[in-house]
Homo-oligomer: A and B are copies of this chain.
Amino acid sequence: MFFHDNRLQYKVRVDKPNPQFAKALQQAIGGVEGEIRVCLQYLFQGWNSRGPVRYRDMLLSTGTEEIGHIEMLATAVALNLEGSSSSVIEDIVGGDSLMEKIVGGGDPRHFLSGGLGALAADANGVPFNGSWVVSSGNIAADMYANVMAESTGRVLATRLYELTDDAGMKDMLSFLIARDTMHQQQWLAVLEELGHGSTNGVLPIPNSFPQSNENQDFSYVFVNSDVTPDQRSEGQDRRWTHGPSLDGKGQFREEKAQPYGDEPMLAPPKPEGYAQVEQMQKANDPS
């Protein structure tokens, strides 16, 4: 079972709201390379796991971490949409031609269906699809599915990093990119334990993104989301919690899951989104 902490795993800040970037971020939420997919994929693999137990534990820990990534990205979408109301928008109409040509306008459903909130869909508004959740019952096939998900996921995150010049968004992405660095190697480490040879050299994927731009405090740490008392994994010898990382650039370590971010605080509803009157009157009422 699961628990929730109001604080984010890592801080999410938007300096200059941008509904076009909100649209692009949706790919990382509900796209085939996105966080809902990896979250459900790791959780289903864990729930369906018929052993060994050490892999089940790992899958559930990381699947749980990913729920928090959906949360961060949904928050980022909501904050970016605060720039889409008529009163603010003048400030953000800029000359960013790459964004303009590639992304075009925002996602109309962000306003029409969501009232300036995130959707369970990709950057084109195509809904998340459960067929992407791979849980094959064969641990090696599953691990390759996971490496693939984290590889295309990290490629996506680096492109989002390229697309924005908002310092807050770059900071958030530098964290998520680092987590993808770790997760790629985590699944490959299982393969190594199962007899697969070493995999150094090609990692992290993409290897053209300067690792100085990722938040390297989080690049080689296994985040343990497990709060079961008397955890069996403590003190165990696992390839992904200590020793050199598979890319040869760091040392694996383990850390108890903890919030590095604050509780997010969205702006009150805009009148043109037609929330209920009571929502607007008591938007941030803590009681």
| Cα–Cα, bound, A71→B46 (Å) | 9
Q: Tell me whether A255 is interfacial, beta carbon within 8 Å.
A: no
Minimum CB–CB distance from A107 to chain B (whole Å) comes to 7
Q: Tell me whether A217 is interfacial, beta carbon within 8 Å.
A: no
Copy number in the complex reads 6
Residues of chain B within 8 A of A158, CB atoms compared:
274
Minimum CB–CB distance from A54 to chain B (whole Å) comes to 7
The listed residue (B8, B36, B141) touching A155 by CB distance below 8 A is: B141
| Cα–Cα, bound, A104→B3 (Å) | 38
| Cα–Cα, bound, A63→B232 (Å) | 28
Interface extent on A, as a size class?
35 or more
User: Which B residue's beta carbon lies closest to that of A100?
Assistant: B105
| Cα–Cα, bound, A20→B49 (Å) | 21
Task: Indicate whether A277 sits within 8 Å of B208 (C-beta atoms), given known contacts A103-B105, A114-B135.
Answer: yes
The listed residue (B105, B115, B132, B227) touching A3 by CB distance below 8 A is: B227
User: Which B residue's beta carbon lies closest to that of A72?
Assistant: B1
| Cα–Cα, bound, A97→B74 (Å) | 24
User: Which B residue's beta carbon lies closest to that of A105?
Assistant: B104
Minimum CB–CB distance from A140 to chain B (whole Å) comes to 5
Task: Indicate whether A285 sits within 8 Å of B53 (C-beta atoms), given known contacts A125-B124, A137-B117.
Answer: yes
0/1 per residue, A14-53, Cβ < 8 Å to B?
0000011001100100111100100010011001111111
0/1 per residue, A111-134, Cβ < 8 Å to B?
111111111111111111111111
A-B contact pairs, 28 of them (CB 8 A): A1-B5, A1-B67, A4-B227, A19-B101, A36-B40, A40-B120, A50-B279, A51-B269, A51-B283, A52-B283, A53-B286, A54-B285, A103-B104, A109-B124, A111-B159, A114-B137, A115-B136, A115-B137, A127-B130, A131-B131, A131-B132, A134-B152, A138-B274, A138-B279, A191-B202, A196-B199, A197-B200, A208-B271
